[in-house]
Amino acid sequence: MPINPDAVGSTSEPHEHSWTEKDVMLYALGVGAGTGELQFTTENTMDTPLRVLPTMAVVLGVGGFGAVGKIGTFNPAMLVHGEQAIELYGEIPTSGTVSTVGEITGIWDKGKGAVIVTESVSTDVSTGKPLFKNTMSAFIRGEGGWGGDRGPSGPRNEPPERAPDHEVTYHTRDDQALIYRLSGDRNPLHSDPAFAKLGGFDRPILHGLCTYGFTGRALLHTLCGSDPARFRSMEGRFSSPVYPGEALTVRMWVEGSSATFQTCGEDGRVVIDSGRVTFS
């Protein structure tokens, strides 16, 4: 069965997901936080109560992508995570349960492939109020060519032609992917050397959403004074894989209460582009 463009508007069944303080700390360690960020990595400090990194929304909002099952059949190995955005309606609590419903909001014909866009809203079960929204796009190679709308294209969130206002470099660990995968994404591409070689890589690569989390930490500490309550939204496009052990440099261009950003690998290539963050 080919891709069905009429699936736009289809929704997933509600999916509940719960987390605890242990999950919060494990996620923070998975995206590189450590002894210098104890408000995110331990509950045992007298002066800094545990808080949640805003990008943890990407692992808490699981289930929303289930709506993609309604677009037809495709080879999952041909699917590539293209873009990711989060919008937060309040600070994420250190424990709780959310109910997530996803919706297919776009199916675009790119010729050599199809782009599927989903939005999923996660509601705090204890309050009944939306807590955050995830928007993601996935490119499925070999599934285009049905003559449909190509959808939006062209550059966006381009940084201005001047030096960045801020630049932060973090070093990932050689075993970073092994830590991050414990937050839920067990894809062997990130842990099994033999499987990675089948995918065309000489060794396992880092999860794109781990790079996203490293980037979010840099934005949080630099633009929000390390206060998750000030972090409003973040979006970006994955443009190059990252290997565990690489240094990541986040460049930020600030304009009022928003900023464009790029994340670069240690050789200078851009690994997340079209980046934009809003904050208060």
**Is 208 an annotated catalytic residue?**
yes
Among 30, 208, 216, 236, the one annotated catalytic:
208
* Contact yes or no for 135/117 (Cβ under 8 A): yes
* Contact yes or no for 27/209 (Cβ under 8 A): no
**Is 140 an annotated catalytic residue?**
no
Please give the sequence-ordered ranges of beta strands (E in DSSP) within 192-246, or none if there are none. Answer: 231-238
Among 92, 205, 207, 273, the one annotated catalytic:
205
CB atoms inside a 10 Å sphere around CB 42? 14
**Is 171 an annotated catalytic residue?**
no
Helix 208-223 to helix 21-30 angle (10° resolution) is: 100
**Is 116 an annotated catalytic residue?**
no
- Residues 6+ away with beta carbon under 8 Å from 228: 51, 52, 53, 54, 91, 92, 220
Among 185, 207, 236, 265, the one annotated catalytic:
185
Among 113, 190, 216, 272, the one annotated catalytic:
190
* Contact yes or no for 205/190 (Cβ under 8 A): yes
- Residues annotated as catalytic are 185, 190, 205, 208
